[in-house]
Amino acid sequence: MSGNAASRRGQQGDRYLLGDSTAEVEHLTHQAEVYAEEAAKLLDRVGLAAGGSAIDVGCGVLGILRLLCERVGPSGRVVGLERESRILDAARQAAAQHSLPVEFVQGDATSLDLPADSFDFVHERTVLLNVHDPATVIAEMVRIARPGGVVALQEPDHSGWVCDPPHPAWDPLLAELLAAYRRNGKNFNTGRRIARALRDAGLTDVQVQVSARVTQAGEYYQTFLLTLTSLMRDQIITGGRLTAAELDGQVASLRAHLEKPGALTCMATMWQAWGTKPQAG
């Protein structure tokens, strides 16, 4: 099967559940900003050098592209790969705004139309939880990494995703979100599996880090559960356990609770894992 045919098959079978609406573009923009600190620490640990080549697979609006450009400098190469056309357009605009010398490619992470052994650093964030077969994406990432290069993954895990004071709508809404992912053959709790997945893909010196983030009223991620349930609204209603009116009522009640001073959430943990592609022979 040609790369284009495989890409079309992947797009049909792995529809991006969060879509490409203005709200999702906003979410991806915030994700790049809020999780920049965690990504910078990852790059410190990996040691990406000036003059290196790097790709952010499923880069979204900006992903970690700004950080990669800073690390590799003017003599390096940074590629941003994104499948969704509208999000890719937003990425190009954001890169131009920030004067980032990024080469953008439209493509499917499950079938990368890129040559093998091309990059010193291959990265993805929150791509694997949105595909049916994460191992296929990881295999493609390993293929395009050069021998001795690093493949790095960042994926969430809902364990520890709580609010305080508690609210009766929190657990049901979280359960509906996780169930919607499962019904679509996807797993929100990919984070805990990524180190093992890299070892299974043949990488060496696999390491892992986990971070948690606390939010409070007024911060974007304070109501992130509500953002996701809004983006997944049709999927949740299709599940049949909540009517549209019940879902909207729970969302409104929880939003009012989270906007009160003193309300806190602990975000889904973000797992990072990275490993080295063995030298040939």
- pLDDT digit string (tens) for 147-182? 999 999 999 999 899 999 999 999 999 999 999 989
- 3-158+186-212+270-276 in CATH: which number? 3.40.50.150
pLDDT of 117 > 60? The answer is yes
pLDDT of 9 > 80? The answer is no
Long-range contacts of 88-91 (CB under 8 A, 24+ apart): 90/25, 90/28, 90/29, 90/61, 91/59, 91/60, 91/61, 91/62, 91/63, 91/65
pLDDT for the residue 8: 36
Amino acid code (one letter) for 158: H
Residue 250's SS3 state is: helix
pTM to 2 decimal places: 0.90
List the chain domain ranges: 3-158+186-212+270-276
Per-residue pLDDT tens for 230-249?
888 998 999 988 999 999 99
152 vs 20 pLDDT, higher one: 152
Distance CA 184, CA 234 (A): 13
Distance CA 172, CA 104 (A): 39
Assigned token pair, 74: 């003017």
pLDDT for the residue 32: 81
Question: How many other CB atoms are there within 10 angstroms of residue 7's CB atom?
Answer: 20
